[in-house]
Structure 1
Amino acid sequence: MEKAERNLVEPLGEVHFNKPKLELSKGFIKFQLRVETFFLKKGYLLLLIGFLLGRALILSKLMPFSLPFFAAVYFIRRDKAPLALIGLIAGAATISISNAVSTFGITFIFLFVFRVAKKWLHNELRALPFFVFFTLLGGKLLEDFILTKTLTIYDGMMAGVEASLGFILTLIFIQSIPLLSISKRRQSLKTEEIVCLIIMLASVMTGTIGWSLYDLSIEHVMSRYLVLLFAFVAGATVGSTVGVVTGLIFSLANVSSFYHMSLLAFAGLLGGLLKEGRKIGVAAGLLIATLLIGMYGEENSHLLKTVLETAAAIFLFILTPQALLTKIAKHIPGTPEYAAEQQQYMRKMRDVTAQRVAQFSNVFQALSKSFSSYDDPSEGQKGEEGRELDYFLSNVTGKTCQNCFKKDHCWTRNFDTTYDYMKEIMNELDHFGETSPRLSRDWEKHCTRSKKVRETIQQELTFFHANQKLKKQVQESRKLVADQLRGVSEVMGDFAKEIQRERENHHKQEEQILEALQDFGIHIEQVEIYSLEQRNVDIDMTIPYCRGHGECEKLIAPMLSDILGETIVVKSEECSTYPNGFCHVTFRSAKAFTVETGVAHAAKGGGFLSGDSYSTMELGCGKFAIAISDGMGNGERAHIESKETLQLLQKILQSGIEEKVAIKSVNSILSLRTTDEIFSTLDLAMIDLQNAGAEFLKIGSSPSFIRRGNKVFKVEASNLPMGILQEFEVDVVSEQLKAGDVLIMMSDGIFEGAKHVENFDLWMKRKISELKTDDPQDVADLIMEEVIRSRSGYIEDDMTVVVARIKHNTPKWTSIPVQNFRKKAN
């Protein structure tokens, strides 16, 4: 009831408040864009950072931040370098005029030396830190000499320390400054970039040392706010890292606040651990760390002040908009926001890829339609035949009637009569090879050159028939290309749909499976579910080293079978090579049927190379293919021909193209590849492993036989061998197989190999029915032996027999009832 009331109330609220909220959101976005434009695009953020870095000190004396910052800005955003220089000089002037003059002088020396030496540099980026180092070293020594007129070892050491810090800070600022722009860059930040950004932010905050508001230290408030920010966004690891780095830099700037590093590090760790409590949890972590470190440290007399500074940092943190926190989190690896951003990016890339594949599929579909637009037997074809007849008669009249004195009489005054006579002559010569006496008499009366016209028509008929045959071949080739292009289009279309299928989130199922297995006493390190679709389950697991006891096959797969309600088997297993490692296992749905095969083959005369080739392959679409190819003749050439036929067929079938199109494609290749009269037969059986349905495609091959109990069935089809015709229709014979059926496929050397046999069908059926075994290999060997024995041990032709037995897929281990075990345990 409450839900229904809420559903009724919410639309009313949208009517009254949606417009002001929308205007407020637009106003906030405009304000945000203006702020980004002012600080980031126009570069005034660099002015502010330069001001703070210009007044930042290390050990209360050294100023190593100014020149590295200016050098990095000059190298990365040269147009904004003047703003950065103004900020640095202004910040240094807040300490003393001499510091401002020193900052300007060292910057001027750097610009002069860098511009002069630039033409000899091959890699400015690598050389930049060294220029900063030597400029700071020389500049500080020169400054000390001007002020004191002498140089001591202490001056040299301090100048070396400042120059070394400048060298390191230059490398840090080069990686940090690009992160302050809004240019299009990659979304993720490397760990080094995150640390460099933290160091830069901490260095900037050292410029606030000495500032206070209502007796609260600005640097303490801002540093704790920074730790809160990163602990909330990235967790304990990054939070504690920020605390350590920030506290260390503050300690170098002011040695008296060394305890502050412990406070910030502890606050980052606690805040990150308590981030599940959202902002309140992270704030509680900082407050607890402040109380513990404040009471334990030497600053316990100023505990109230420290707590107030923490409260100010917490107040700023609570006021921070969630949009800013989410935007920062998107750039830090390991955060949910980053994962969502990456997933969105991958989804976009997937959609783009699928769209491109679909476009290619449409292109192939369009090409297929353009090739298949040949003329069908209809009124259009009748018109085409009329035009061809007109062209034919035009060629005849051009050679006979063009120079005849009766041309006007025949074709102007009696056009229809002459046309009909010539058409009738053409038809009779085409069908009977000569004209009837009646037509000859009538034509001689009508035409003065009747004999020459008949001879010309006879000659032109030869060219006419050749042209018709060529046109038919072109149409057949166009149809074959259209079928091939349509097959490729369908495969690419299916592939595009497969790409667009997202991997479903199976977190709940993964937890259930993990819990069920662990309750049973099996330790599982990780479970990843890729698919729970019926008959298409795909699960990966990582388990500890099982010492070869077969836990996956004996325990885990049976339990998964009970949980998922279907038979699950181990598809692949990679065991660890050392005792403390992990095994990676893939579980898949078991097929409803399996196929056991046996093969027997022999070459003519007992040779090594047989003209027969065979192949048994399990295709990825849940089908099992058995193929036999018999090359024309014997020996090496026939062996190569049959072998290449099967290799082409296997590759095309594995691509997902339909069987008919695959066979036509192979036939086209064989017929166009060579002009030699080398042909191949093909006997293909496609067995569906889910329902045991079988499709037989026989191209010039011998019949196959199915043995079911005491009965034997013959499977045959009539087609010429492959490579003879460029276009032919593939006859598909479908049969429903059952568990226990034995399928026998053979080449003509086996089927027609028996001597003194008149009816090969009856002989083969009798021999198959007399067999006392169902083992595929034994059946193949016995059939081969019977044929060879009938020839008195001589092998007169290449012989190949492939036998397959259909079985129910019965797993080695039955399912283990998980629910019953849980009830007993409870």
Structure 2
Amino acid sequence: MGKIQGSFVEPIQERKMVDAKFFFYSLLESMKNHLETLFIKRGLLLFIFGFMLGRAFILSVLSPFSLPFFAAAYFIRKDKSPQIFIGIVAGALTISLGNAVYAFMIISLFLVGHKLVNRFVRNQTTLIPILVFLSILIGRLSWHYVETQDITIYHALMTTVEAGLAFVLTLIFLQSIPLLSLSKRRQALKTEELVCLIILIASMMTGAMGWMIEGIAVSHILARYLVLIFAFTAGATVGSTVGVVTGLIFGLADINSFPEMSLLAFAGLLGGLLKDGKKIGAGFGLVVSTLLLGLYGNGTTSILTSLYESFFALILFMLTPVFYTNKIAKHIPGTTEYSAEQQAYIRKIRDATARRVEQFSSIFQALAMSFRKQENHERSDPEAEIDYFFANVTAKTCQTCFKKEKCWALNNYNKTYDAMKGIMLELEEENALSKRTIRNLEHICTRSGKVIDTIQNELHYHHANKKLKQQISESRKLVAEQLYGVSKVMASFANEIQRERENLEKQEDQLFDALQSFGIEVDHIEIYSLEQGNVDIDITIPYCGGMGQCEKLIAPLLSDILHEQVTVYKEECASHEHDYCYATFRSAKRFVVDTGVAFAAKNGGFVSGDSYTMIEIGAGKYALAISDGMGNGERAYLESKETLNLLKKILQSGIDEEVAIKSINSILSLRTTDEVYATLDLAIVDLQDAKSKFIKVGSTPSFIKRGDQVIKVQASNLPIGIIQEFEVDVVSEQLKAGDLLIMMSDGIFEGPRHIENIDLWLKRKILELQTDDPQAVADIIMEEVIRSSDGYIDDDMTVLVAKIKHNNPKWKPIPAISLRKGA
């Protein structure tokens, strides 16, 4: 019983712990949201900045901070300007009543001036700094005159300096205030924006000048805390920059604070360098900086007081939630958090794009199915069409005849129907009627002449309507096939988008170290894929002087390290010694194809009706094709060339070969009413395993020469464009290294005269070949065919020869292990 009870108690305790953790995290999230609402949305943060800047002075005389901050906030966050106004006046009031009155006066001058000139100036960005300059210039001179009843050159000079500083600070604060609402910001901080933000924060901290707790300056604590935050989040560069800028502003506010700049700059540098040690490392950098600079004397501050200030800054830093430091780091380029944020954003965009592409793919697939269903639904019944045909005929003849009831009575219905159907079929087949058929109709029908004429007329419309329906049907099928093909391509594209680049930093470092250890200087390595047979690596190297080290050294080394043949896919050499070379390395294909072609036009003409192409269609496939247009000359050439152009574009788009052939057939059969067609002989070779597909549409057989054996490849497909609907017959063959693939047009296959068995003759000629060079083979076959025809060229001739070879790179892999041992 106790065991059973214990088994129930443990899950309950675990559930309570989970509930407690959930409650704690929910409480923290709620507090964070409330704080953000209070400080950001309700303007408490801007009020605090206004309060502190109302207290900020330079050399205890000039106050150029408050009005620029109010003016920038009035321009950007006008709804929060009342809080800032109250904060500035309240901050100035803590100094003296006169300062509060002066702050109120210059802000009022600015608002009045803005109201007056706002109607005449459209560019507010230019207007605001000028108004600030004039408001301080007029306000300070007026204040001096009221106080002393005189304005000296010293007063005028100092007032001009204060107004000039206010002008510059306005431009800075205009960029800084939007950055205070980081919760709504998505883009990264620019260098100028970061410096402006630091100037704003440091200016605000000068408002704490004079606040002392047992001899410890609050302003120094805040300054060191600020340096720690940025050194920890952004590193040594930004940390030292924050230290220098903050120390400089503190020095301008109080000449005795100038030595603080060296401590802050050194603390930012050291803390940034030690940031990998987390908060403890950054804090240790501040303590070391305080001790080192304290030993050499740090102005009027004793080393013990400075340590206390650093200690309190360190406590504030340790109490700062990691959430806020990470939030700051996300907006500073170069940080890990920023990279993670960018990756997350890119991943989100990628997934959204993939989803949209998948949606489009499903839409195209649904449209294709809709067209197919519509085609199946509207596929006509021949008997129904005949009934509809005779309904039109009888409506024009029998409906007005007085013997209608007799002819179409139950006992005469079949006899009348068969007689009219016989006339229709005879007219369709022979386009004329026999006397016997006419006499048979005359025995049945008193208006036989009119019936025959009506059938002839309706037959003309029937044929036209039938042809139109057939064209519409073929158009629907073409659209359906194209939509289906596009759907498959888009689905494949969506899958490629979703393949996220693998995190291969460790492998990149290993390759970098390996190449460096062999004495090859490498600047950067970017690995996109290490998949077997699909290696993709980009390498940046310094200027090599055109020595070809990518092909001769780096590719062989990579081949040994990755255990597969790697070659230079693309290379961009540097133009001068201070530039960099860029090279892309890819997996070498196991096979390569060498080609040769020979062609001749009919009767030795200049324009041949045959066309050919050899293209790489991606994914490691190589296509060879010959097209023979109907007839000869320019018309046939245009027909065959158009066929190959369509084939090339469709194959390169990624659409399946069979769909491509059907699409081309539909396009060529629909685009013209002339009876023109073209043959197509297509071979697609996979360069990884040498498997080949042969699609022959009205073309002659091809031959494969393998040693002492000749293999014939043929298929039974009608030429393209001759009928609207046909099925593509695909023949597959496994090719081997050393094979010769010989493709030819009908001019070659049917060219030899007085030869009964062309197949045997061509096989014998191919076996007698003493060379395996593709171009030589093409020339020899062309010459043999022309000689066998007594020198006559009765038709356009084209022979295309391809040799399958193993891909043997120029440079063998360099054994990496032996090099290391030798080193």
Residues 310-345 of structure 1, C-alpha deviation per residue, up to 9 Å, x if partnerless? 110100111111111111111111111111111111
Trace 1:190-339 onto structure 2 (pairs within 5 A): 190-299=190-299, 302-339=302-339
- 1-structure distance, mates of 2:384, 2:634: 51
| Aligned residue in 2 for 1:402 | 399
Closer, same or farther: CA 230–430 of 1 in aligned 2, 3 Å: same
Trace 1:211-610 onto structure 2 (pairs within 5 A): 211-299=211-299, 302-374=302-374, 384-385=381-382, 387-405=384-402, 407=404, 414-415=409-410, 417=411, 419-425=413-419, 427-431=421-425, 456=454, 460-610=458-608
Q: Which amino acid aligns with 1:494?
A: S
- 2-structure distance, mates of 1:368, 1:81: 60
**Contact 2:230-2:242 within 8 A present in 1 as well:** yes
Name the SS for the 2:302 alignment partner. helix
Residues 333-382 of structure 1, C-alpha deviation per residue, up to 9 Å, x if partnerless? 111111111111111111111111111111110110011115659xx979
Closer, same or farther: CA 735–114 of 1 in aligned 2, 3 Å: same
Closer, same or farther: CA 422–460 of 1 in aligned 2, 3 Å: farther
1:281 CA displacement:
0.5
- 2-structure distance, mates of 1:166, 1:487: 66
**Contact 2:489-2:655 within 8 A present in 1 as well:** yes
Select between 756-765 and 78-87 the one with higher mean Cα deviation. 756-765
Q: Which amino acid aligns with 1:226?
A: L
Q: Which amino acid aligns with 2:80?
A: K
Select between 181-190 and 170-179 the one with higher mean Cα deviation. 181-190
Select between 23-32 and 663-672 the one with higher mean Cα deviation. 663-672
- 2-structure distance, mates of 1:375, 1:144: 94
1:272 CA displacement:
0.4
| Aligned residue in 1 for 2:61 | 61
Residues 686-731 of structure 1, C-alpha deviation per residue, up to 9 Å, x if partnerless? 1111121222222333332221112223323344433333333333
**Contact 1:237-1:272 within 8 A present in 2 as well:** yes
1:541 CA displacement:
1.3
Name the SS for the 2:32 alignment partner. helix
- 2-structure distance, mates of 1:633, 1:99: 101
Closer, same or farther: CA 564–22 of 1 in aligned 2, 3 Å: same
Residues 377-426 of structure 1, C-alpha deviation per residue, up to 9 Å, x if partnerless? 9xx979x4554344334323322332344555666xx55x5554455345
Q: Which amino acid aligns with 1:229?
A: I
Q: Which amino acid aligns with 1:394?
A: A
Count residues with an aligned counterpart.
812
Percent of aligned positions that are identical: 61
**Contact 1:231-1:272 within 8 A present in 2 as well:** yes
Name the SS for the 1:573 alignment partner. strand
Q: TM-score, normalised by structure 1?
A: 0.92
Residues 638-661 of structure 1, C-alpha deviation per residue, up to 9 Å, x if partnerless? 433333332221111100001122
Closer, same or farther: CA 799–457 of 1 in aligned 2, 3 Å: closer
Closer, same or farther: CA 265–392 of 1 in aligned 2, 3 Å: same
- 2-structure distance, mates of 1:205, 1:34: 25
1:24 CA displacement:
1.8
Q: Which amino acid aligns with 1:497?
A: N
Closer, same or farther: CA 538–568 of 1 in aligned 2, 3 Å: same
Indicate which of 729, 732, 748 corresponds to 2:730.
Answer: 732
Indicate which of 642, 654, 657 corresponds to 1:656.
Answer: 654
- 1-structure distance, mates of 2:436, 2:315: 118
Indicate which of 751, 754, 757 corresponds to 1:753.
Answer: 751
- 2-structure distance, mates of 1:142, 1:675: 94
Closer, same or farther: CA 792–247 of 1 in aligned 2, 3 Å: same
Residues 3-61 of structure 1, C-alpha deviation per residue, up to 9 Å, x if partnerless? xxxxxx99887423111221122222222222222221122222111111011001221
Select between 719-728 and 731-740 the one with higher mean Cα deviation. 719-728
- 2-structure distance, mates of 1:122, 1:758: 93
Residues 79-98 of structure 1, C-alpha deviation per residue, up to 9 Å, x if partnerless? 22121111111111222222
**Contact 2:478-2:667 within 8 A present in 1 as well:** no
- 2-structure distance, mates of 1:144, 1:604: 106
**Contact 1:259-1:297 within 8 A present in 2 as well:** no
| Aligned residue in 2 for 1:668 | 666
| Aligned residue in 2 for 1:186 | 186
- 2-structure distance, mates of 1:108, 1:784: 98
- 2-structure distance, mates of 1:418, 1:148: 133
| Aligned residue in 2 for 1:174 | 174
1:438 CA displacement:
12
1:153 CA displacement:
2.7
**Contact 2:705-2:740 within 8 A present in 1 as well:** yes
Closer, same or farther: CA 533–50 of 1 in aligned 2, 3 Å: same
**Contact 2:46-2:84 within 8 A present in 1 as well:** yes
Closer, same or farther: CA 133–726 of 1 in aligned 2, 3 Å: farther
Unaligned regions of 5+ residues in structure 2, if any?
1-8
Q: TM-score, normalised by structure 2?
A: 0.92
Unaligned regions of 5+ residues in structure 1, if any?
1-8
**Contact 2:260-2:298 within 8 A present in 1 as well:** no
Q: Which amino acid aligns with 2:781?
A: I
**Contact 2:231-2:238 within 8 A present in 1 as well:** yes
Residues 164-204 of structure 1, C-alpha deviation per residue, up to 9 Å, x if partnerless? 21111111111111112267433311111111111110011
- 2-structure distance, mates of 1:435, 1:575: 82
1:99 CA displacement:
1.7
Name the SS for the 1:596 alignment partner. strand
| Aligned residue in 2 for 1:3 | none
- 1-structure distance, mates of 2:789, 2:122: 85
Whether 1:93 aligns to 2:93 is: yes
**Contact 2:501-2:528 within 8 A present in 1 as well:** yes
- 2-structure distance, mates of 1:11, 1:547: 71
Q: Which amino acid aligns with 1:760?
A: I
Whether 1:615 aligns to 2:613 is: yes
Residues 564-623 of structure 1, C-alpha deviation per residue, up to 9 Å, x if partnerless? 222111111222222344322111111111100112233445454433322111111211
**Contact 1:133-1:164 within 8 A present in 2 as well:** yes
Q: Which amino acid aligns with 1:501?
A: R
Q: Which amino acid aligns with 1:502?
A: E
| Aligned residue in 2 for 1:780 | 778
Trace 1:4-83 onto structure 2 (pairs within 5 A): 14-83=14-83
1:137 CA displacement:
2.3
**Contact 2:475-2:670 within 8 A present in 1 as well:** no
- 2-structure distance, mates of 1:387, 1:35: 79
**Contact 2:256-2:299 within 8 A present in 1 as well:** no
**Contact 2:471-2:670 within 8 A present in 1 as well:** no
Select between 253-262 and 557-566 the one with higher mean Cα deviation. 557-566
- 2-structure distance, mates of 1:580, 1:12: 69
Q: Which amino acid aligns with 1:424?
A: D
Whether 1:84 aligns to 2:84 is: yes
**Contact 1:628-1:682 within 8 A present in 2 as well:** yes
1:483 CA displacement:
1.1
- 1-structure distance, mates of 2:264, 2:676: 84
Select between 160-169 and 239-248 the one with higher mean Cα deviation. 160-169
Closer, same or farther: CA 54–709 of 1 in aligned 2, 3 Å: same
Name the SS for the 1:629 alignment partner. strand
Closer, same or farther: CA 421–691 of 1 in aligned 2, 3 Å: farther
1:266 CA displacement:
0.3
- 2-structure distance, mates of 1:71, 1:712: 90
| Aligned residue in 2 for 1:5 | none
Select between 440-449 and 772-781 the one with higher mean Cα deviation. 440-449
